[in-house]
């Protein structure tokens, strides 16, 4: 990813708003002031300026004052690119999200930022838009900028492209989904156990025919949650009709169609009396389906994976299996800085618990 010179005449950044005309006048065009400029203005050596800028000891009060004045008067700001080039470390980490616009990731991103900040590092983030190619492009662009480490929420299932980077010392932690075909640190919610618990909750409230609507297989979290669903059913000795399982993605129309089918008891099966939703997008769609006036007479129980804002204000309030995105982000960032601080043991996997929050929709008894 680069702004490549396919554009031959891209003007360099305007030095100052109206310097455009001055540029060919032979005058030394006003780039930004450098340490050298500051040194000249203050009448000191270059290294002294460097000392002042970096707060190093060994500069007399008097000299420091002169340098500070020169800095302010010239509007100097250290060029970190040069610094990075020399020092080899950037004090920045990268975060590759699946989707910057998904509220689920906001607290995660924020938590990573807080940890980074506590370690004096800047966070650079971008989103893959769930596109594997874009994930790779972004991750490698961050590596080219020499971030010290990388937190990745995978959109792809093959991360071998990162092997040279990891070998070169870029600490890398995956969150929410495991890395593909390489070994690396990993932070996950306990998707299996969370789903199992959610479905067991419905069973405990008397349901025997429970539908599962979730994301596509191939997505690790979706597989785990489906596995949890099946485990809960099996533990209770309940059969699972295949018509009750719809792991077909989060597209609203698809979800709606599957839900309607299950509630009608399609393909010869009896209608389900409860639904378990594989993630928050599915849940919201299901809430809409179930809120339809004609459904009101025969209420259907619902438990959703993932919490979401206002779930408690809906009627009925929605029972969920909540992940803690901030906690995931914090754990990942801490794992990362542990590596950056020198830990070089085997990659580890951290599993974070989920929490069942009973609010009403999951406690509706079967109405069949």
Partner DNA sequence: GTGAAAGCGCTAACAA
Partner DNA sequence: TTGTTAGCGCTTTCAC
| Residues found near DNA in the complex (CB under 7 A) | 4-5, 31-32, 34-36, 43-48, 50-51, 53-54, 57-60, 62-64, 76, 78-79, 82-83, 85-88
Minimum CB separation from DNA for residue 91, in Å?
11
Residue 202 CB-density burial (10 A; 0-12 exposed, 13-18 middle, 19+ buried): buried
63 binds, among its own copies, DNA, none (CB under 5 to 8 A by kind): DNA
Residue 296 lies near its own copies (rule: CB under 8 A): no
Cα dihedral value 99, 102, 106, 109, nearest 10: -20
Give the residue, chosen from 45, 103, 353, 365, that forms a contact with its own copies under the rule CB under 8 A: 103
Cα radius of gyration rounded to whole Å, the chain = 28
Which CB sits closer to its own copies, 223 or 327? 327
Q: How far apart are CA 275 and CA 285, in angstroms?
A: 12
145 sits near its own copies (criterion: CB under 8 A): yes
Q: Which is nearer to its own copies, 124 or 213 (CB)?
A: 124
Based on the shown chain and the rule CB under 8 A, indicate whether residue 18 belongs to the binding site for its own copies.
yes
Binding its own copies (rule: CB under 8 A), the pick from 67, 124, 259, 333 is 124
Binding residues among 248-287 for its own copies as defined by CB under 8 A? 284, 287
DSSP-based helix, strand, coil % in the chain, nearest 5: 45, 15, 40
Binder of its own copies out of 34, 50, 89, 351 (CB under 8 A): 89
**Order of strands, edge to edge, in the sheet holding 301-305?**
245-247, 210-214, 274-277, 301-305, 319-322, 355-357
Residue 35 binding target from DNA, its own copies, none, CB below 5 to 8 Å by type: DNA
The C-alpha atoms of residue 97 and residue 102 are separated, in whole angstroms, by: 9
Using the Cα atoms of residue 144, residue 338, residue 121 and residue 126 in order, give the sign of their dihedral. positive
* Cα end-to-end distance, the chain, whole Å: 57
Q: Judged by CB under 8 A, does residue 315 bind its own copies?
A: yes
């Amino acid at each position: 990813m680069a702004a490549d010179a396919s554009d031959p005449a891209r003007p360099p950044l305007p030095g100052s708003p109206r310097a455009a005309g001055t540029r060919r006048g032979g005058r030394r065009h006003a780039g930004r002031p450098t340490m050298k400029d500051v040194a000249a203005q203050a009448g000191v050596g270059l290294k002294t300026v460097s000392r002042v800028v970096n707060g190093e000891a060994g500069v007399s009060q008097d000299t420091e004052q002169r340098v500070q004045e020169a800095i302010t008067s010239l509007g100097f700001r250290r060029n970190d690119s040069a610094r990075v080039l020399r020092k080899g470390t950037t004090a920045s980490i990268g975060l590759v999200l699946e989707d910057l616009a998904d509220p689920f990731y906001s607290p995660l991103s924020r938590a990573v930022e807080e940890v980074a900040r506590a370690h004096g590092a800047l966070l650079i983030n971008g989103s893959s838009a769930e596109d594997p190619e874009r994930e790779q492009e972004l991750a490698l662009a961050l590596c080219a900028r020499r971030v010290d480490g990388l937190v990745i929420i995978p959109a792809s299932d093959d991360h071998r492209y990162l092997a040279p980077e990891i070998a070169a010392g870029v600490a890398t932690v995956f969150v929410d989904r495991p890395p593909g075909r390489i070994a690396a640190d990993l932070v996950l919610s306990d998707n299996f156990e969370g789903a199992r618990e959610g479905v067991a909750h419905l069973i405990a409230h008397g349901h025997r025919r429970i539908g599962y609507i979730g994301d596509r297989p191939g997505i690790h979290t979706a597989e785990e949650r489906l596995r949890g669903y099946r485990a809960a059913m099996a533990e209770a000795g309940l059969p699972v009709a295949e018509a009750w399982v719809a792991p077909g993605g989060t597209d609203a129309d698809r979800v709606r169609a599957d839900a309607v089918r299950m509630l009608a008891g399609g393909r010869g099966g009896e209608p389900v009396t409860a639904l378990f939703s594989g993630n928050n997008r599915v849940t919201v769609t299901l809430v809409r389906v179930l809120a339809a006036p004609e459904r009101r007479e025969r209420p259907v129980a619902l438990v959703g994976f993932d919490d979401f804002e206002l779930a408690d204000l809906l009627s009925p309030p929605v029972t969920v299996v909540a992940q803690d995105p901030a906690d995931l982000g914090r754990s990942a960032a801490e794992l990362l800085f542990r590596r950056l601080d020198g830990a070089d043991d085997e990659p580890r996997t951290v599993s974070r618990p989920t929490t069942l929050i009973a609010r009403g929709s999951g406690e509706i008894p079967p109405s069949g």
